[in-house]
Structure 1
Amino acid sequence: MPVVKSHYNPPHIFKSGHFSTIYSGLYRNVSGVYQKRERITLSDQDFIDLDWSYAAYHPNTSKLIVILHGLEGNAQRAYVKGTAKIFNRNGYDAVGMNFRSCSGQPNRLYRSYNAGATEDLREVMEHILTNYPQYSHIVLKGFSLGGNMLLKYLGEPIRIPKEIKAGIAVSVPCQLKGSLLQMNRVENYLYSRMFIKYLQKKLETKNASFPNLIKLEDIKKANSLLKIDDLYSSKAHGYEDAFDYYKKCSSRQFLPYIKIPTLLINAKNDSFLSKDCFPVEEAEKNANFYLEIPKYGGHVGFFDEDNIYYTEKRALNFATLA
C-alpha cells in the first residue's frame, strides 16, 4: 500500500522529538495492568519469561496480542503496559515477551537476545498455540528492536501460523547499520551512553558466568554500540562481526515478503532512525505492508490525551480492521 496519511498532532511541547522520547521513556506511568508471569523452557534449555494480562469482562476471549519490547526493555515498560491496557479493555488478552536476560534474572546461556532473534519468537508462538488453543485471532506488536524482530519474523520464508492476523511495529530501526550510524550523532550522545552503560553491565554478568568467553578488559574497551555489537551481540549469536549482524538481521530486506496486514509507524523526528529506516518503496509495492510517517512522535514517544498513546489507538484500530 502507499504510505498512510498520519493524523497525529500532539500538544506543542510533544512536537519536540527529544522531549517526547525522554518523557515517554522516563516519566510515563501506566497503572491498572495486572500481570501474571509464566516461564517457558526453550529447546536449548534456556528460558523466556512471559507476562500475561487479561481481557476485562471477557474471560473466554479468543483474541490475544503479543508484545515485544525494545533494546534493554522488558514487559513492565510503560509502552508495553499501555498497549496491554487498551487491548485488555477491548476484549484481548495480552502477553509481553521478555527477551532472554531482560526479565530481571540472567539467562542460562552465553547468548541472549538480538534484533533478529526470530527463533525465540517462533518458540514463543509455538508454546502459545500449543498450550492456549483458544486463541484464534492473534496480533503481534513490536517496539524498536522488538519491532525489527517482528518485521523480520513476518517476512521470513517460513510459514506464519494462520492464527496471526496482523502485525504492528513502532519506531523500528529496520536498517540497523543506518540506525547505528545515526546513534553516533552528537544529538544522540546521552541515549547512546545510557544504552552502553546498561549493556556493559549485562556483559559483566556474562563475564561472571562465562569468564573464558568474554573478558572484563574487553568489556571496558567496548565503549560504543558498534564495539559492543562487535564484541558480543554478533559473536554470541553466530555472526562474523557487527556489520554481518546488521546486514543479516535488518528487517527492511524482509518487508516485500510480508503476507499479512502489517503497519509500521516511524516518526519523521525520531532521532534514532536514518533515512533508510523509512521504507516507502516497499510500502508502495506490497499491498500487505502499511507505512505511516507522522511528523512527530520521537522514538516510542507518541503522547496523546488520557495517557493512551497514539500508537496504542492506531494498533487497536488496525487490529480490528485486519
Structure 2
Amino acid sequence: MIKCLLAAVLRQIYKFVNFLLVYIQRLKLISDVIPQIHSKESTLTNHLITKRGMLNCPFQPPFILCNGYVQTLAGLFYKPLQEFHFQREYLQMSDKGAVALDWFIHSTAKLKRTSPILLIFPRLTGNALSVGSICKLGVSKGMRPVVFNRRGYGSSLLFTSYLTSIGDTKDTRRVMEYIQSKFPLGKIIGVGIGAGCTTLFSYLGEFGSSSLMKAAVNISPSYDNTVGGRHIPKLYELLLLFHLKFHLILKNWKVLCNSIDIKEILIKTWTLKKFDYLVYCKSCGKDSFDSFCQRNDPMRDVDDIAVPVLCINSYDDPVSVKENIPFDIFELYPNLILVTVDKGGHCAFFENVKGESWVDRLALQYLQHILEFVSNSKYR
C-alpha cells in the first residue's frame, strides 16, 4: 500500500516538473542543440540527409539537463517509470558458459517473420530495463528487440569463472549465428551504448563482411581504450566500481573465488584500470595491461568494417571526451558516419525528466533509413 502511494506521489511530481519544463521551453529559455554530421560524401550520406532529413530534429534538453555531468549522472541512475517486460533466454557457449538474451515483450506488437532484429548491447552498468525505452520504440517501428548481456552482466547467472572483456567477440558471434538461425528472414541490426559500443565495434571489425549484421549505431562510444586514452571522472569511476563489485563480483563470488583474488578486488581496487587487470587481463592470458588494452581497442579492425555504422557523441561527454574522437576516420570511410551535438553527456541525451532520449529516436530513424538503402545497394 505504501509503495503504491509513494509511486503515485512520484508520478505527480514528475508530471509537475515536466509541466514546468514545457512552460520554460515556451518562454524560450531552452535553446535547440543542432546536430552536426561528419562523414565522407557518398550516396549513403546524401540519402540520409537530403532525402530522409536525418538531422532535421534538434536536441532540446531542459535547462536542468544542459550540463554534461548532470546528463551523465542522470543516465547512470535513470530508472524507467513504466514497466517493461522481457523474456530471458540463456544461450550456452562451447566452454559451458552462457550469455543471457532478453527478448522484449509487447502485448500489442504484431511482428512478422521478416521483422528486423534489433540487437542491443547495453552500457557497463546497464540491463534490459535500462534500454526498455528504445526497445518499445523499436517495436513501434516493426522491429524485434533483444538485449545481449555479457556473462554475469544484466543480473544474469554466471556458469563458469570466465568473464568476457568488452572487446571479446566470441560470444557475440555465437549470438549472431543463433539469432540468424532462429529468424532466418529477419535482418539483424545493432545498437551499442557506452561500453557496449566497444563490443559492437570490435565484432564488426573482426568479422568484416561476414558479420551477419546489416547496420549499427554506437551511442557515446569510446574510441581509445588504451591507458592513455581513458578520461573518466573519479566520481563516475567510483560509481561504476561499486556497481561492478556488488553486482558482478560479490554476486558471483562462489563461481569466481578460485580464479581471481576477490578480497583484493573488493578492498584494494579503486580504479577501473586495476579492476580490468585483476578480473579480465590475467584470465585472457595477456602479459601486460597495455597488450590487453590493445586487444580490446574498438578501433583495432576499423578498416574491415563492411556495414553502415552511425556514431553519436556529445562534446560535453566527460567519459568519451571530444579530444579522443577520430574525426579523420569518418572523413575517410564512406560507411562510417559521426553525428555530434554540443550537449548530451554520456549515454543520456535526455529531453525531459521522464527519461525520453533524443538519441533513441535518431538511432532508430537511422536504422530504418539504412534498411531501405541497403535493399538496393552493395551492402546487401
Aligned to 2:221: 172
Q: Could you tell me which residue of structure 1 aligns to residue 364 of structure 2?
A: 316
Query: Match of 2:329?
Result: 282
Q: Which residue of 2 aligns with 1:84?
A: 135
State the shift of 1:72 in Å.
Answer: 3.0
CA distance in 2, matches of 1:206, 1:110: 9
Cα distance in 1 between the residues matched to 2:157 and 2:105: 27
- 285-294 or 13-22, which deviates more: 13-22
Secondary structure of 1:51 counterpart: strand
Structure 2: how far apart are the matches of 1:167 and 1:22?
Answer: 25
**Equivalences for residues 143-158 of structure 1 within 5 A:** 143-158=193-208
1:105-136 per-residue CA deviation (whole Å, 9 max, x = no partner) reads: 4412222132102111111111111122231x
Q: Quote the offset at 1:192 in angstroms.
A: 1.0
2:190 is matched with which residue? Answer: 140
The answer on 1:298 being equivalent to 2:298 is no
Quick one: which of 29, 34, 42 aligns to 2:85? 34
Is 202-211 or 306-315 further displaced after alignment? 202-211
Return the alpha-carbon distance in structure 2 between the equivalents of residues 49 and 157 of structure 1. 22
1:294 Cα deviation after fit? 1.1
Q: What's the counterpart of residue 60 of structure 1?
A: 112
Match of 1:214 in 2: 260
- Once the two structures are superposed, the pairs formed by residues 149-298 of structure 1 within 5 Å of their partners are 149-162=199-212, 164-177=213-226, 181-183=230-232, 188-201=233-246, 202-205=248-251, 207-219=253-265, 220-275=267-322, 277-298=324-345
TM-score (norm. length: structure 2)? 0.76
Q: How far, CA to CA, are the matches of 2:96 and 2:224 in structure 1?
A: 31
What number of residue pairs does the alignment pair up? 314
Q: SS at the partner of 2:249? A: helix
Structure 1 residues 36 and 106: alpha-carbon distance in aligned structure 2, compared to 1, 3 A threshold: closer
Given that 2:315 and 2:322 are in contact with CA atoms closer than 8 Å, whether structure 1 keeps it comes out as no
Cα 1:287–1:319 shift into 2, 3 Å: same
For residues 10 and 205 of structure 1, do their structure 2 counterparts lie closer, same or farther at Cα, with a shift above 3 Å needed? closer
How far is 1:226 from its partner?
Answer: 1.1
Structure 1 stretch displaced more, 112-121 or 251-260: 251-260
Q: Point out the more displaced range, 200-209 or 305-314.
A: 200-209
The residue matched to 2:158 in structure 1 has which SS?
coil
TM superposition score normalised by structure 1: 0.89
The answer (yes or no) to whether the contact 1:118–1:149 under 8 Å persists in 2 is yes
Tell me how far 1:66 sits from its aligned partner. 0.4
Cα distance in structure 2, aligned partners of 1:126 and 1:276: 36
Write the distance in 2 (CA, Å) between the matches of 1:170 and 1:194: 20
Range 244-253 or range 311-320, more displaced: 244-253
Aligned match of 1:118: 169
Deviation of 1:61 after TM superposition, in Å, equals 4.7
Q: Which deviates more, 188-197 or 137-146?
A: 188-197
Q: Structure 1 pair 236/276, CA: closer, same or farther in 2 (3 Å)?
A: farther
SS in structure 2 of the partner of residue 176 of structure 1: coil
Letter in 1 for 2:66: K
Unaligned runs of at least 5 residues, structure 1: none
Q: Which amino acid aligns with 1:231?
A: L
Shift of 1:309: 1.2
Q: Is the 8 A contact 2:111 2:144 kept in 1?
A: no
> What is the RMSD computed on CA atoms of the aligned residues?
2.4
**Aligned residue for 2:36?**
none
Q: CA deviation at 1:54?
A: 4.8
SS in 1 for 2:119: strand
Percent of matched pairs sharing the same residue: 24
* Paired residues of 1:207 and 1:213 also in contact (CA < 8 A): no
Among 11, 16, 19, the alignment partner of 2:62 is 11
Taking a change above 3 Å as real, the CA distance of residues 179 and 96 of structure 1, as seen in their structure-2 partners, is farther
* 1:75 alignment partner, one of 121, 124, 128: 128
Moved more, 274-283 or 108-117: 274-283
8 Å contact from structure 2 (residues 208, 304) kept in 1: no
Show the counterpart of 2:51.
none
The structure having more radius of gyration, on CA atoms, is 2
Superposed displacement of residue 19, structure 1: 1.1
In the alignment, the residues of structure 2 paired with residue 255 and residue 216 of structure 1 have an alpha-carbon distance, to the nearest angstrom, of 35
- TM-superposed CA distance for 1:304, in Å, is 2.4
Structure 2, unaligned runs of 5 or more: 1-38, 46-54, 371-380
